[in-house]
Structure 1
Amino acid sequence: MAKERLDKLLAHEGFGSRKDIRKLLRSCEVLVNGKQIYDPGFAVDAEKDNISVDGEEVNLHKNLYLMMNKPQHYVCSTKEGDHETVFDLLDDSLRTPYLQEKLHLVGRLDMDTEGLLLFTTDGELTHRLISPKSHISKTYLCGLEHAETAEHQAEITKQFEAGIEVGPEDNEQGFTAQPAQITWLNDTTAQLTIYEGKYHQVKRMFAAVGNKIVYLKRISMGQLKLDKELELGKYKELTDKDLELIV
């Protein structure tokens, strides 16, 4: 990783403007690897160097990865008029200038959809996961408006596995969905695994077979499953092992 100016890194972490950082370096004990630094332009490697301000270590995140259990009625946006956004659910500690600029969502969920939502500052990971070439699986728990007979369940399964024709919606054209797998839990509930992320895709797929989604929850991406201990609206930082499940 290329080195960056000390004042830039500290500004990103919420210590104020670069002018504020110059004052900080004069008035506080700012150490890099145990050595006091007065030069705001001092070159720092955020991956390797240890920085502290008056004895408190500064935790420099090269990249941050969060899993949220998204509740309904929150939009996947930084701003959305009268609606609260998923970013409103984050702690103040995640509102530093750097994170406000870099932290973003890996894909989105509709306002009325719950479940697994990823935030990161890692643009390369996001590109890999949302690229149409990646074919990262996404599994949803689907609640249906009306019950399906065993016979029609079998027909739906066959159509989804073959790649069903999906009609247009709003300004989006119709398309042929990639083959998808469905597991029926009962006559009104199923788990559906898809490998793309078209607009309202799951809802449109069930509309194409004459039913309607009344409850939708994403429960996994790749091999990464939503943590069952994570309450609605809560989030946690992902471990390296977690990341290996989606890359």
Structure 2
Amino acid sequence: MRLDKLLVELNIGTRSEVKALLKKGLILVDGEKINKPETKVDENSVTISYGGKDYAYAQFHYYMMNKPKGVITATEDKKEATVMDLFYRKCPDAPKGLAPVGRLDKDTTGLLLITNDGALAHELLSPKKHVDKTYFVTLDGPLTSEDINALENGVHIGEGDLTAPSTIKYEGGNTCYITIHEGKFHQVKRMFFAVGKQVLELKRTAFGPLLLDEELLPESHIIELKRESFY
């Protein structure tokens, strides 16, 4: 890869900015000053140093966000704050081109994966893969055994067929966990509405193999993951 292209992908600066930094000798490539932006380097093994920080290239990046309320799950929006607006405020040095995997409603909190790995995103979202998604739900009233049976075996939410089987973990009171593997619009809220319950709070706690890090408080929002997290 050309050195200037690599520096741009490492988010050190724009093409013109990194050329200026190279010319001034402010960037070290494996400990040496290289002034020519067209220099070819092995992006998988080279170490870039700038401003007292070492940079290593990775093709794909993965982040877990504990999504707060009040932001929409989108890459950009002209009227409302998005999860990516929040993400880049929290992680200004993160590479460009990242996007959320799937959607959480504006008032839904919890686990949201952000990545530039399109193949992984497709795998996690594909209906054929039946990837589980678990939510902690706060309701306006307790569940009955009939409610649980209906939810686990499928309910009508206005789309013809019953929803696919789900799993309910309920220990009394007005809260429960529900695990589904579909991704219909407002599905969890509509499922509980179908048994006469209103969802007051909704938080995703698991997405496929990922579990929401309980130490990832809403104030901190984001941690970076390794590719191995998905196996």
Under a length normalisation based on structure 1, what TM-score does the superposition of the two structures give? 0.82
2:153 maps to which residue?
Answer: 162
Question: After alignment, is 216-225 or 57-66 more displaced?
Answer: 57-66
1:137 maps to which residue?
Answer: 132
2:199 maps to which residue?
Answer: 213
AA paired with 1:190?
C
Q: Counterpart of 1:44 in 2: which secondary structure?
A: coil
- State whether structure 2 residue 166 is matched by structure 1 residue 180: yes
CA RMSD in angstroms, aligned pairs only: 2.3
2:178 maps to which residue?
Answer: 192
Equivalents in 1 of 2:133, 2:26: separation in Å?
48
**Structure 1 residue 215: deviation in Å?**
0.9
2:110 maps to which residue?
Answer: 115
Question: After alignment, is 230-239 or 49-58 more displaced?
Answer: 49-58
Indicate conservation of the 8 Å contact 1:65/1:120, yes or no: yes
TM-aligned CA distance change 1:93 to 1:51, over 3 Å? farther
1:230 maps to which residue?
Answer: 216
Equivalents in 2 of 1:175, 1:39: separation in Å?
62
Aligned length: 230
- Identity among equivalent positions (%) equals 40
TM-aligned CA distance change 1:103 to 1:211, over 3 Å? same
Segments of 4+ in structure 1 off by > 6 A? none
Equivalents in 1 of 2:160, 2:186: separation in Å?
11
Equivalents in 2 of 1:240, 1:123: separation in Å?
13
TM-aligned CA distance change 1:99 to 1:159, over 3 Å? same
Indicate conservation of the 8 Å contact 2:11/2:95, yes or no: no
TM-aligned CA distance change 1:93 to 1:109, over 3 Å? closer
Structure 2 residue aligned with 1:24, among 11, 21, 25? 21
Structure 2: where are the runs of 5+ without partners?
A: none
TM-aligned CA distance change 1:231 to 1:93, over 3 Å? closer
Under a length normalisation based on structure 2, what TM-score does the superposition of the two structures give? 0.87
Deviation readout 1:22-71 (Å, 9 max, x if unpaired): 33222115443344433322223322222224764223332221111111
Q: Counterpart of 1:60 in 2: which secondary structure?
A: coil
Q: Counterpart of 2:127 in 1: which secondary structure?
A: coil
